[in-house]
Chains A and B, each alone.
Chain A
Amino acid sequence: MPRRRSLATREALTGLLLVLPALIALGMFIYRPLVDTFFLAFSDWNMVRSERTYIGLANFQEMAGSATIRRAVVNTGWYVVWLVGLLIVFPLFVSAGFTVIGRRARRFFSGVIFAPMVVSLGIASILWLWIYNPISGLSGAIWRELGWTPVSWLSNPATVLGAIALIVAWKAFGYNMMLFIAGMGTIPRELIDAARVDGADGPRLWRYIVLPLLAPTVVFVLFATLAMATEYVFTPIHVLTGGGPTDASTNIVFEIWRQAFRWFRVGYASAIALVVFAVFLTITVVQMLGSERVVSYEER
């Protein structure tokens, strides 16, 4: 009995020791500032004033009544929709194409389609400006060639959000596609062959065999996409539109940044940040519990 106990203690100690470096770093540089944020959320402060005024729930009340915040939340939702389409559905579809081409073509296409991943979003935004420009850019030339009126992608409230999402999608598409292709590579070949013998081919093969087995990958990529819809889109918004026109391209992280670093309302920005964090933590835990169930058959 004491022997067992000491074994368990040793296991616990080793485990704790292993996670300690990460915990210290994350605690120091993420949770310590987050605690700061928590207190700031109930105060009025501009970072340079020496006193922070405690104002209770006023920041949260303002947030609840703010049309801009509402818009930013709705937009964030639309970014998720766009990016789920461009970074999950579409790459999944394209990865199907990789099952019909040969080894060499596979290597070539996966190589070049992945390449934009190495370009920073700041640079990507500037490059896409040359494409989007309706007057002197590529899209303008193509539209004119086709006899259409060029579209002001970045100045039209109806198109700007999709245009921003497309830049992020351009960068991350190859990465997600590779993850799907990789996931498909882990599906046992015998399973596929057996299914085909049973007459499941084409769409049915995907519907009943491939997609269910890819589920964990999809869940994971969904996760990463959620993070992109908030954090990645910040850069193109910042570089190209400043959230406009008429708040049509803003998202929640851009609002936090703008309130804190352009309008100097650190307390208010902290309150928004706190709510965002709480929402995401909830989603994460729920999603984790869900995906845990999906893959539990592999648990030890």
Chain B
Amino acid sequence: MKNARRPPRPPVVRAERDFADWGIDAHWATKAAWFALLGALTLLALLPVAWMLSTALKPSAEIFASGIRLLPANPTLEHVLRLWRDFPIGHIVLNTLIVAVGITSAQLVTSVLAAYGFARFRFPLREPLFYLCLGTMFIPVQIVMVSNYLLIGEWGLLNTHAGVILPQVANGFGIFLLRQHLRVFPQALLDAARIDGATEVTVLFRVVLPMVRPVVAALAVLFFINSWNQYVWPTIVLTNPEAMTLPIWLRQFMSAEAGSSWGLLMAAASMGVLPALLLYFAAQRLVLGSLAGAGLKG
């Protein structure tokens, strides 16, 4: 009964398998040129990150003395250890994780529901309401943050993670992207499921979601990265260091007056980049596969 009507695998997943490699039999010189370009891009992509890690591992006196040398001459864990010993870095990373996971999951849920509603149901004012959702993509947070701050304050949520998450539980971009995919979803599959007597919720979770899973995964990655790195809004909500997220907290190693403490700054920055990077490399196949699946058809 449970898997009685498992729909066939959607074409998007198949597409990932036999990838567009129609140029694979190109001339070796062409190939070499492409490899050179991709190699250069790889270098460019990794260089700044490598610089950050290497600075984090250089002793303070060496950071500036070594000029532009990439590898530390006397690598040290001085800054990293200081971060763990003198600062609540673990706690800060945890805060960041809570906020990022909270925002990501909330946005995924509201986006899936709304996209499904907009794509497959007829109701009054559907188009105008959809465009209103879409329009939110172009409203910079700077415009709405004062008003939201006052509201969050009235609700007593300043300096709480809920206060950071709540105004961002929906995301116009997510609704838009998912709707594009759900619109081209074969109606026959839905009808078949409905004739079987499945409720709308069942249809959504059993039939629709599995087929757009790659898109949802790609969105999840995007939402997570964005909320993990979020800065402008959390800055005014979280004024209590105990509740701060990493992007705000590490600003204390930069000071217009005293100058920056580059070693600590880079060590703290690494704490923000490394977990995300490791997570990404661990899930790389899934992520890139998902993105490949997100091949935007409409």
Tell whether, in the assembled complex, residue B280 and residue A118 are in contact, meaning their CB atoms are under 8 Å apart: yes
Interface bits A181-193 vs B (CB < 8 Å: 1, else 0): 1111111010011
Give Cα distance in the complex from A291 to B126, angstroms.
Answer: 18
* B24 lies within 8 A of A256 (CB): no
Please state if A299 and B183 are interface contacts (CB–CB under 8 Å): yes
Q: Which of B15, B23, B277 contacts A185 (CB 8 A)?
A: B15
Q: Is A101 a contact of B140 with CB atoms below 8 Å?
A: no
Q: A96-B23, A185-B15 are in contact. Are A116 and B45 (CB under 8 A)?
A: yes
Instruction: Say whether B138 faces chain A, with CB atoms less than 8 Å apart.
Output: yes
Q: Which residues of A contact B129 (CB under 8 A)?
A: 19, 23
Interface residue A216 (Cβ < 8 Å from any Cβ of B)? yes
Nearest CB on B from A221, distance (A): 8
Residues in A neighbouring B223, C-beta threshold 8 A:
none
Cα A279 to Cα B20 with chains together (Å): 38
Q: A118-B277, A253-B140, A299-B184 are in contact. Are A109 and B117 (CB under 8 A)?
A: no
B276 within 8 A of A: yes
Decide: A131 and B288 in contact? CB cutoff 8 A: no
Docked pose: A123 CA to B271 CA in angstroms: 11
A94 to B225, CA, bound (A): 24
Interface size on A, residues (CB 8 A): 111
Given A15-B122, A19-B129, A178-B288, CB of A253 within 8 Å of CB of B51: no
A151 / chain B contacts, CB cutoff of 8 Å: none
Q: With contacts A8-B122, A111-B284, A227-B137 known, is A116 near B49, CB below 8 A?
A: yes
* Contact residues of B between 103 and 137, Cβ < 8 Å to A: 109-111, 113-114, 116-118, 120-124, 126, 129, 131-137
Contact across chains for A113 and B42 when beta carbons are under 8 A apart: yes
List CB contacts (< 8 Å) of A253-274 with chain B: 253, 256-257, 260-261, 266, 269-270, 273
B265 at interface (Cβ–Cβ under 8 A)? yes
A126 x B147 contact (CB < 8 A): no
- Among residues of B, the one whose C-beta sits closest to the C-beta of A128 is B48
Flag the segment in A31-39, A50-58, A64-72, A157-165 that touches B: A31-39
A78 within 8 A of B: no
Contact of A22 with B114 at beta-carbon distance under 8 Å, contacts A112-B42, A120-B247, A298-B298 already known? yes
Q: Which residues of B contact A277 (CB under 8 A)?
A: 135, 138-139, 143
Asked if A12 is at the interface (CB within 8 A of a chain B CB), the reply is: yes
With a cutoff of 8 Å between Cβ atoms, the chain A residues found around residue B3 in the complex are: none
With a cutoff of 8 Å between Cβ atoms, the chain A residues found around residue B151 in the complex are: 28-29, 32
A47-B293 Cα distance, complex, nearest whole Å:
47
User: A33-B147, A185-B19, A284-B138 in contact; A22/B231 too (CB < 8 A)?
Assistant: no
Interface residues on B, range: 35 or more
Residues B34 and A101 in contact, CB atoms below 8 Å apart: yes
Please tell me if the beta carbons of A31 and B225 are within 8 angstroms of each other in the complex. Answer: no
Q: Which of B19, B30, B52, B126 lies at the interface centre, i.e. has the most chain A CB atoms within 10 A of its CB?
A: B19
Say yes or no: A18 contacts B67, CB within 8 Å.
no
Show 29 A/B contacts (Cβ-Cβ < 8 Å), sorted by A. A18-B114, A18-B200, A29-B144, A30-B139, A33-B143, A34-B139, A94-B38, A98-B20, A102-B21, A111-B288, A115-B45, A117-B280, A119-B276, A127-B52, A138-B47, A173-B41, A179-B291, A179-B294, A182-B296, A183-B296, A185-B19, A186-B295, A189-B22, A220-B177, A235-B231, A277-B139, A284-B135, A288-B134, A300-B187
Question: Which residues of B come within 8 Å of A, CB atoms?
Answer: 11-12, 15-16, 18-24, 26, 30-31, 34-35, 37-38, 41-42, 44-49, 51-52, 64, 67-68, 109-111, 113-114, 116-118, 120-124, 126, 129, 131-148, 151, 166-170, 172-173, 175, 177, 180, 183-184, 186-187, 200, 222, 225, 228-229, 231-232, 247, 251, 254, 265, 269, 272-273, 276-277, 280-281, 284-285, 287-288, 291-298
* A-B pairs, 8 with minimum CB distance: A15-B121, A18-B117, A120-B229, A33-B147, A280-B138, A22-B114, A99-B23, A25-B170
**Given A227-B137, A277-B138, list of 6 further CB < 8 A pairs?**
A19-B113, A47-B146, A120-B228, A186-B15, A234-B140, A295-B298
A positions within 8 Å CB-CB of B: 8, 11-19, 21-23, 25-26, 28-34, 36-37, 47, 94, 96-103, 105-107, 109-124, 126-128, 130-131, 136-138, 141, 170, 173-175, 178-179, 181-187, 189, 192-193, 196, 205, 216-217, 220, 224, 226-227, 230-231, 234-235, 253, 256-257, 260-261, 266, 269-270, 273, 276-277, 280-281, 284-285, 288, 291, 295, 298-300
